[in-house]
Amino acid sequence: MLFSWTFISCFLQIPILVCSYTSSECLVRMNYRIHGEGNVVIIGYFPAYAIYPLNKTTDWRMLKFNRDFMVEIKLKNYQCILAMMFAIEEINNNPYLLPNKSLGFEVNNISQGQRYTLANVFRSLSTSTCVDLNYRNAHESNFAAVLTGPSWAISEYIGTLLDLYKFPQLTFGPFDSLLSEQRQFSSLYQVAPKDTFLTLGIVSLMLHFHWIWVGLFIIDDDKGAQTLSDLKSEMDKNGVCTAFVEMIVVSKGSFFTKSWKNQVQILESSSNVIIIYGDSDSLLSLIINIKQKLLTWKVWVLISKWDVSKFDDYFMIDSLHGALIFSHHHEEIPNFTEFMQKSNPYKYPKDTYLHVLWHIFFNCSFVKKDCKIVNNCLPNASLGFLPGNIFDMAMSEESYNVYNAVYAVAHSLHEMILNQVQFQDHEKGKKMVFFPWQLHPYLRKTLFNQDEVNEVLDWKRKSHVEYDILNFWNFPKGLGLNVKVGTFSPSAPKNQKLSISSNMIQWATGPAEIPQSVCSESCHPGFRKTHKEGIVACCFDCTPCPENEISNETDMDQCVKCPETHYGNTDKIHCLQKTVTFLAYDDPLGKTLCFLSLGFSSLTVAVLGLFLKNRDTPIVKANNLPLSYTLLITLMLCFLCTLFFIGHPSTASCILQQNIFGLLFTMALSTVLAKTITVVIAFKITAAGRIRRWLLISRAPNFIIPLCTLLQVFLSGIWLTTSPPFVDKDAHSEHGHIIIICNKGSAIAFHCTLGYLGALALASYFMAFMSRNLPNTFNEAKFLAFSMLVFCSVWVTFLPVYHSTKGKVTVAMEVFSILASSTSLLGIIFVPKCYIILLRPERSSLHYIREKSYARRKKNLNT
């Protein structure tokens, strides 16, 4: 069975720069060529060269053409041509794919400008020198599809025309949402995967190196606006901020002025990382400015691999050295590198490009008219001999897409032919003819069907695209290596999506340390971030954590409060266990108070013993001996009750210390009150002698003691019933300590008790003050008045001190007040009597009393 020839046409525009001496005849040969014998021919359009006027300085890559022009050969395109040739040879050698048919291809140059591009397309489709839109010569072969790329603009130009004829078009440049519009480009298929997770990959890279302050360069078009929205949304979710955003207008020549105006912003920006989002063609002017005019020592993050041979400057260091590049991951194609190394003008004599390259780089003699080399070439010359910055032997992303595009067309043709053979009857020897639009169902099945079993196109069935992260090494200048340093896989687990080897990366600032890009220096542990109103979240001040709060991580927004049982250390980075403490017996303060308590109680016992021993003396009998005994016993118990305040508090001790204190002091003060009333009755009351005598004989003032005590018992009962004292913990008064104290329960009840005692003290003071000048040899009214004055002064001073101190100091102050007030009563009332008994016993005799009384009467008579 005979088959008609099938053409696959390719329009490729991939800029790589190399120049050569040539002639107009040679240019014609380079512009159009057919290579490879076979039934099926693939036609490709490449920007193989460009012509420039001689109005700027030339170098070894910009060589003179005729008299007024130069020719720029775009060498990087040639790898795409080789990828197409390699794929076609594999298919032709595969007996199971397109049997009895062979593929060929045709390559055409794309001139600058939309007009010339469309003219070349018309010329190819009509196979005629003169273009006739409604006429096509009878051709031995059929065109099956057109490959275009990588520029979206070229694909759009050609796609607008091809869609009119439903001609299949495959573009292998970066995925563009504009080209995926089915209404406008229903016949266009994008081979490159969609960059759905590229923004996530970029942000993950920023977070890995803690770069949270970055600049953005993005193309100013619909795609750029959508990209900016997606990127900023992802950055905002992860705490990455933008230092500046530059939207780049894609118009040749217009960006040079704008970039020079904004280069000051780039240089002065505190951001050391700048993301460039866009294809290499659109950002050509920007990259030229960066490489030749901005030596910034910044880290550039790119989404395209730049053609380093396209730029030339006179600096030893390249500004893009150390850049990180996101590139689609693709598997290595077996034998492709070997195929490129074996490609030479002798193997492919019709390949004009190979002749030109051999002439330039290997010093071969060259016949300009025929564009062919002759002898005198370097033996065993190969493309592998060329420097990496001139011709990269590693398969580029575009070449990989070209390779897959050719296979997609081949599989689609194979399925279509099988379908025609199976369902259509043909006469023997009659050629099978098809129209290009008939290929669409099979292309859709090949490219988009998840069940397609095809190892070559296996990448199409992956749910997520993987990216290689490349590091651009260009020091010394001209090295031009893209070294793989990591990967990004969106389908991997959360913390394993990004894998990168930091030690392999060469940074523009040197290999020693990873560059930093932050608006504000990190807040170290012990500090928290304080954001300023109206400023992005990445710019902040560092504020020390408050008392008892910590931050044990860098850049914490809020400090963490330590639990009640812990406290923050000096650096505010750890919570330490608080020490439990109380007014213990082994504490120095506790020991002192305990010693004073026992000492004064012992002294009181001694005074009581002294009074018992000398109970028959006038000085002891003169001031109501039973009341003196009662007061001394009460004072001894007052001194001892302070022991309830020392030691580990318990519920019993908390209840006893407050109530016993209240009862004992009530008894002491009521006893003093009874003493003063007794004196007043004896000397001041002017009632009938019978009544006064009855009051003194019946000892009626002594009933004041139980009455006042019962009233205090009543107050204590109400206190214990409503809100009794309890054991409490004070975790705030003393840093690093939890103080166990007795909580009063009801502060009102406590202050009522103090008020009641104060009232008794004032009453006693008033009575004693009235009887201070009575004519009695052993009148103690003055001492009682003064003791009450000191007693009131102690407790009036106690109240503000009590409310201004915390913890065990408060307890100590209360104990001290009890001791001080009790000591004032003991010392002022009883010490003078003890002095007379022990040191001046003659003053306590009857003889001394009579003489003193006689002297007082004589004095009164004289006056």
- Band of pLDDT at residue 754, cut at 50, 70 and 90: confident
Inter-CA distances, 695 with 672, 698, 760, Å? 17, 5, 21
- Distance between CA 831 and CA 704 in Å, rounded? 25
Cis peptide bond N-terminal to 476, omega within 30 = yes
Higher pLDDT, 628 or 43: 628
Q: Helices 397-423 and 440-448: crossing angle, nearest 10°?
A: 130
Do 452 and 446 contact (CB within 8 A), yes or no? yes
As given in the structure block, the two tokens for residue 138 are 């009878």
Sign of CA dihedral 784, 790, 793, 799: negative
Higher pLDDT, 222 or 265: 222
- Band of pLDDT at residue 859, cut at 50, 70 and 90: low
Q: Give me the pLDDT at residue 377, please.
A: 78
The total of other beta-carbon atoms located within 10 Å of residue 450's CB is: 7
Do 169 and 437 contact (CB within 8 A), yes or no? no
For 579, list phi and psi in degrees, rounded to 5.
Answer: -90, 130
Name the pTM for this structure.
Answer: 0.65
Q: Give me the pLDDT at residue 637, please.
A: 93
As given in the structure block, the two tokens for residue 79 are 């790898």
Buried b (16+ CB within 10 A) or exposed e, 460-487: beeeebbbbbbbbbbeebebbebeebbb
Average pLDDT over residues 551-574: 88
Q: Give me the pLDDT at residue 452, please.
A: 44
Residue type, 726: F
Lowest mean pLDDT among 60-74, 158-172, 714-728: 60-74
As given in the structure block, the two tokens for residue 719 are 């206190």
Most confidently modeled range among 112-116, 483-487, 803-807: 483-487
Helix (DSSP H) and strand (DSSP E) numbers for the chain: 23, 29
148 - beta bridge partners?
11, 171
Mean residue pLDDT across the chain? 76
| The pLDDT of residue 488 is above 90 | yes
| Percent over 90 (pLDDT), the chain | 10
Q: Give me the pLDDT at residue 1, please.
A: 32
- Distance between CA 527 and CA 42 in Å, rounded? 67
Higher pLDDT, 217 or 43: 217
487 - beta bridge partners?
468, 499
Residue 383: closest CA among 340, 351, 352: 340
Higher pLDDT, 258 or 826: 826
Q: Give me the pLDDT at residue 571, please.
A: 87
Do 646 and 590 contact (CB within 8 A), yes or no? yes
| The pLDDT of residue 714 is above 60 | yes
Q: Kindly give, in sequence order, each residue whose CB lies less than 8 Å from that of residue 618, ignoring residues fewer than 6 positions away.
A: 777, 778, 844, 845, 846, 849
Most confidently modeled range among 78-87, 175-184, 243-252, 274-283: 78-87
Inter-CA distances, 418 with 97, 142, 374, 457, Å? 11, 17, 46, 20
Average pLDDT over residues 278-296: 60
Residue 207: closest CA among 236, 168, 167, 230: 236
| The pLDDT of residue 607 is above 60 | yes
Average pLDDT over residues 28-46: 55
SS3 52: strand
Could you read off the pLDDT of 318-331 as tens digits, one per residue? 667 788 999 888 88
Instruction: Please tell me what DSSP assigns to residue 728.
Output: E
**Number of residues that this document lists for the chain:** 863
Q: Give me the pLDDT at residue 823, please.
A: 92
The total of other beta-carbon atoms located within 10 Å of residue 568's CB is: 24
Do 41 and 8 contact (CB within 8 A), yes or no? yes
- Band of pLDDT at residue 207, cut at 50, 70 and 90: very high
Could you read off the pLDDT of 816-853 as tens digits, one per residue? 999 999 999 899 888 888 888 888 777 666 556 556 55
- Half-sphere CA count of 217, side-chain side, radius 13 A: 29
3-state secondary structure 128-154: CCCCCCCCCCCCCEEEEEEEEEECHHH
Most confidently modeled range among 350-364, 472-486, 542-556, 774-788: 542-556
For 563, list phi and psi in degrees, rounded to 5.
Answer: -60, 165
As given in the structure block, the two tokens for residue 53 are 């006027």
Maximal C-alpha separation, the chain: 175
